[in-house]
Structure 1
Amino acid sequence: MQMILKHTTAGLALVASLLFFSCNSKKSDNTSTISTNKATKITTPVFNGDSAYNYVARQVAFGPRVPNTPEHEACANYLAGELKRFGADVIVQEADVVAFDNTMLKAKNIIGQFNPEKNNRILLFAHWDTRPFADYDKDASKHNTPIDGANDGGSGVGVLLEIARQIGKAGHHLGIDIIFFDAEDYGQPNHLDLPYKEDTWCLGSQYWGKNPHKPNYTARYGILLDMVGAKNALFYKELYSLEFAPELVNRVWNTASDLGYGQYFAYDQGGMITDDHVYVYQLTNIPCIDIIQHDPSSPTSFGSFWHTHEDNMDNIDKNTLKAVGQTVLEVIYSEK
């Protein structure tokens, strides 16, 4: 993903100012929540933070999941197998995509469909590949080595695997699609002196947007999870999300507050992030939002360990995973 205000040849441009306000800090219990409408009562499954944590750890155990590597292939098989185990109808969309340096990447978008026969659908997605460069590592000798990607890549997938497990047990009255997009993090690196190129990030979602797994695919909305596992993470309202789907942003943030997770979901505005949700929206017109960590104290805005070798399991917190996962479950199970 890429933070932008405007494109420059220097790499990532940062949003310069942010507002700070206090956040709701109520503690959440571990009981399931109930969503009610006039026609029916729907019980929201309880998201298991320990389970999500284990899914993140399992991905990291494969090693960096960089396209064209054995570790990438092994993890792809694992992710597809888990979605099948939870009862999803699985499609592995294979795509040849060209990276910024003209490397041909053998990408795999992994798609799990629940209730594939239903036309009324919700889309949940994350990227599962990891960065082939540690371009923000303090040690310059490590800039060209791939990272673990526990938070950046692993956390969003871990949360969605646990959501898939809960949907598999409880069922859902709508169609739910969970997509793990590939080749998101192979964007032009910051440490190389290269002229800026457009659209080098999010190659898997760009491909899927032009070639959806079903002709004329559409959904009520899409929710992207990216970097959702760090300790004490804060999720600000991302600006593209506010442009694409402001009502959904407010609904998600209000739901988090109602559930007692307001300390994670700040009501302030964050930056503009070129992430998978941008291409999904632009290419399919599905309203999409991005739940993504924002750290205004960090020069990159994504945290001190972003795109470094410190993006490992030491930074992953079960409570953060729980806050995001339970919020998303409540949102989709409150749909009529």
Structure 2
Amino acid sequence: MKVRYRFPIRSFILFFSIVAIGYSCNTKDSSEQTTTQTVQMVPAPTFNADSAYAFVERQVAFGPRVPNTKAHVATGDYLVKTLEQYGFAVTEQKFTATTYDGQKLAARNIIGSYQPQASKRIMLASHWDSRPYSDQDSTRKTLPVMGANDGGSGVGILLEIARVLHVTQNKPDLGVDIVFFDVEDWGTSGQIQGDPYSGFALGSQHWAANKHIPGYSAYFGILLDMVGAKGATFLKEGFSTQRANEVVRTVWNTASQLGYSNYFIDQQGPSITDDHLPVNDVAKIPMIDIIHTRMNDPNRTFFDDWHTTGDDMKNIDPNTLKAVGQTLLQVLYNEGQPAI
């Protein structure tokens, strides 16, 4: 994903290009905090952090999930099988992706639908591929990224949510669509003329222009990206507050009431070009991005091993998975009062 900052407070360049962008008048300043409002809470099932950790570990065991590799195919098959095992109706959206450097990739978005007959739907998403090279590594730049945190953690959380929804007695009165976007992480650090994504987010762009169900819509969506590291901080991502600020408030207020304010920070963060942008701008579904960005660090935006060979299971902390997963479950149950 590509980083864009709200104002030019830094003159350095990270892996991504940094540009100044304007915010709408109702966007909070980075130094301003919003007043936490009480969210009506309904009983929600328990999110099992150990189970989520195991789901992340299982993905990593396949090897780097780089498109056009055996590990990528095997992981995709595993995701389909696991969603089906938990009673989700699965759609595989297969397509050929053309990368910024002209390569052709056999790609597939994987969509699992829970209670597909429900008219009110919430969309939860993460990318499931991993980066083909470790460009931020000091010595091993040509090796692929394992992607335990960058990709794997979000998928692990969503698989655990799928498991919980399957086994719980009281179901939320809504539909949930879990979308695993492919080919998110094959972009370039440079600008590509005419491509605001710089080669990133190919799977979500394809899905937004070719929804798996014609006319599909959702009440709102939540994207997860890099949500498993120890001590992760989730600032309010800039494009999310621009395009879906009410969803941001709902999620952050819910996290606060659950006691997770040390993860979900009530502070404006940078704007990240990620899979939620095509969902907002093309599919017209308000979607936010829960993504780990560092606080008050002028030299680094993401976690230490981002886009390196070190993005392995040592980065994954069950406590962080718990904070994100339990918050998402609570949001789902608040939106859909369980039928008793």
Give the aligned residue type for 2:230: K
Q: State the partner residue of 2:268.
A: 269
Q: State the partner residue of 2:60.
A: 60
After superposition, residues 220-235 of structure 1 pair within 5 angstroms as 220-235=219-234
Cα deviations across residues 55-89 of structure 1 (Å, max 9, x unaligned)? 00000000000000000000000011100011100
TM-score under structure 1 normalisation?
0.88
Q: State the partner residue of 1:115.
A: 115
Supply the RMSD in Å over aligned alpha carbons: 2.3
- Count of aligned pairs between the two proteins: 313
Decide whether aligned partners of structure 1 residues 327 and 74 sit closer, same or farther in structure 2, where only a CA change above 3 A counts. Answer: same
Structure 1 residue 35 corresponds to structure 2 residue 31:
no
Cα deviations across residues 227-280 of structure 1 (Å, max 9, x unaligned)? 000000000000100011111101111111100111101111110000000111
Q: State the partner residue of 1:101.
A: 101
Give the aligned residue type for 1:289: I
CA distance, structure 1, for counterparts of residue 240 and residue 13 of structure 2: 25
Cα deviations across residues 15-67 of structure 1 (Å, max 9, x unaligned)? 7995498xx9xxxxxxxxx934xxxxxx3110000000000000000000000
CA distance, structure 2, for counterparts of residue 176 and residue 303 of structure 1: 29
After superposition, residues 1-336 of structure 1 pair within 5 angstroms as 1-5=1-5, 12-14=16-18, 19=31, 35-36=41-42, 43-139=43-139, 142-170=140-168, 171-188=171-188, 190=189, 196-197=192-193, 198=195, 199=197, 200-296=199-295, 297=297, 299-336=299-336
Q: Unpaired segments of 5 or more residues in structure 2? A: 7-11, 21-28
Give the aligned residue type for 2:4: I
Give the aligned residue type for 2:80: A
Q: State the partner residue of 1:28.
A: none
Q: Unpaired segments of 5 or more residues in structure 1? A: 25-33, 37-42
CA distance, structure 1, for counterparts of residue 135 and residue 245 of structure 2: 33
Paired residues of 1:15 and 1:271 also in contact (CA < 8 A):
no
CA distance, structure 2, for counterparts of residue 257 and residue 317 of structure 1: 20
Once the two structures are aligned, what percentage of the paired residues are identical? Answer: 48
TM-score under structure 2 normalisation?
0.87
Decide whether aligned partners of structure 1 residues 10 and 290 sit closer, same or farther in structure 2, where only a CA change above 3 A counts. Answer: closer
Q: State the partner residue of 1:29.
A: none
Give 3-state SS (helix, strand or coil) of 1:123's partner.
Answer: strand
Give the aligned residue type for 1:285: K
